[in-house]
Amino acid sequence: MLGPVALLEGYITKPADREKAIALAAMIVGSENVQDRLLSHFPTQQPYPKMDQNG
């Protein structure tokens, strides 16, 4: 790949943070040159408790 590249690495705590970082990097190097390796710590939903055979 030729030209400037922005590689985004690190941790984010809100989905909006990812969008802001990507948008800012895209303004500088162009959206086709942005690579996103951001990791998130979003809370995960707990699965429904298993039902026993009686209901």
Which residues lie across from 7 on neighbouring strands?
35
pLDDT at 4: 83
Q: What is the mean pLDDT of residues 7-23?
A: 93
Q: Which residue has the higher pLDDT, 43 or 7?
A: 7
Determine phi and psi for 51, rounding to 5 degrees: -90, 140
Rounded-to-integer distance, Cα 35 and Cα 13, Å: 19
Write down the H helix ranges in 1-55: 15-29
Note the pLDDT tens digit of each residue in 20-52. 999 999 999 999 999 999 998 766 655 666 666
CA 33 from centroid of its chain's CA atoms = 16
Q: Taking the domains of the chain in order of start, what are their residue ranges?
A: 6-40
Q: Look up residue 31 and give its two tokens.
A: 């959206």
Say if residue 2's pLDDT is above 80: no
Q: Look up residue 20 and give its two tokens.
A: 């802001």
